[in-house]
Structure 1
Amino acid sequence: MSQKKLIFGMIGVAIVGIAAILYSTIRLSAPTFIDPADQALVLQGRAIYTNNCAACHGEALQGQPNWRERMSNGRLPAPPHDKTGHTWHHPDAMLVDMIKNGLVPGKTAPLGYVSDMPAYRDILSDQNIVAVLAYIKSAWPPKVLEAQKEVTLQRQN
């Protein structure tokens, strides 16, 4: 009888451990709201952005010229990440997904959409992606940041 209890106890501990790991993984992959108030995070994000994003999205977050007009290959130029773009219209979890996995038709882009946006999952860690987003968001005016925070928090409920 005690051996049975021991086996059931070990199974219970294993289940709780697996559940904790899964919960932790889900929480890390979908941050609640990335707050640009952390200046150390913003500085880290600026360096990562400069090395990985600025070539397309611009040193000053300005995007490529005529970013709303399709190029000859049918794709859109890289959009700005400042207040003039649409980055702030998306919740943080979606922005993380876009950076990590690129634009995925039917998920983070319209069906059939083709983009030059690469996936950074093998280049940037989740923490690096969060830092980049903190840097981008640090350039937004308070009203834009507040609107994006509202979108982020609404999508979580």
Structure 2
Amino acid sequence: MVVVGIAYVNVISDNDSAANDKPQKQTRAEAVALRKKTVALGNRLYADNCAECHGVNLEGQPNWRVKKADGTLPAPPHDATGHTWHHPDSLLFSITKNGGQAGAPAGFVSAMPAFGETLTDSDIWAVLTYIKSRWPAAARKRQKLMTDRAG
């Protein structure tokens, strides 16, 4: 999750002097602006790549907990009614990049395609940032704890 607050960024200049090698503080306004840009990019990428299955409003497909005849589950919601926020960032990133079969237990069948050839890693993080921006604070807090514990 992108955390709004004081962050450090490396600033690289043309002269590359030792003074410019030190991290400089990013202002709160800069952090907020960056987060807004990331959420907007994630919103656009979600609409183009995810909404067809997971819903325009992150609502998922009907009966998403009931297996279909082919053994796959319908696309789950990514809003607070689903289970996306029950998983650490590393798993969400891996599933998005490598598909639903990546790391799945034996016998699990997933219709979730891999987006690693379609989206850059930065794009995937932007989509996840957008999804998380739609969760209530309590869900974001709990998901962050799981992410922190997962390492």
Q: Does 1:58 align with 2:55?
A: yes
- Out of 90, 97, 101, the residue aligned to residue 100 of structure 1 is 97
Partner residue, 1:35: 2
Q: Deviations over 1:75-112 (max 9, x none)?
A: 1000000001110011101111000000225x2x2222
Q: Is the 8 A contact 1:36 1:135 kept in 2?
A: no
Distance 1:36 1:47, change over 3 A: farther
- Out of 137, 140, 143, the residue aligned to residue 138 of structure 2 is 143
- Whichever structure has more helix as a proportion of its residues is 1
Partner residue, 1:154: 149
Distance 1:64 1:36, change over 3 A: farther
TM-score (norm. length: structure 1): 0.74
Partner residue, 1:114: 109
Q: Is the 8 A contact 1:36 1:134 kept in 2?
A: no
Q: Aligned Cα RMSD in Å? A: 1.2
Give the fraction of aligned pairs with identical amino acids, expressed as a percent. 50
Moved over 2 A (4+): none
Structure 1 portions without partners, runs of 5+: 1-33
Distance 1:116 1:36, change over 3 A: farther
- Out of 109, 122, 127, the residue aligned to residue 127 of structure 1 is 122
Which is bigger in relative contact order (C-alpha 8 A, separation at least 6)? 1
- How many equivalent residue pairs? 121
Q: Is the partner of 2:64 in helix, strand or coil? A: coil
Q: Which amino acid aligns with 1:120?
A: F
Distance 1:138 1:36, change over 3 A: farther
TM-score (norm. length: structure 2): 0.77
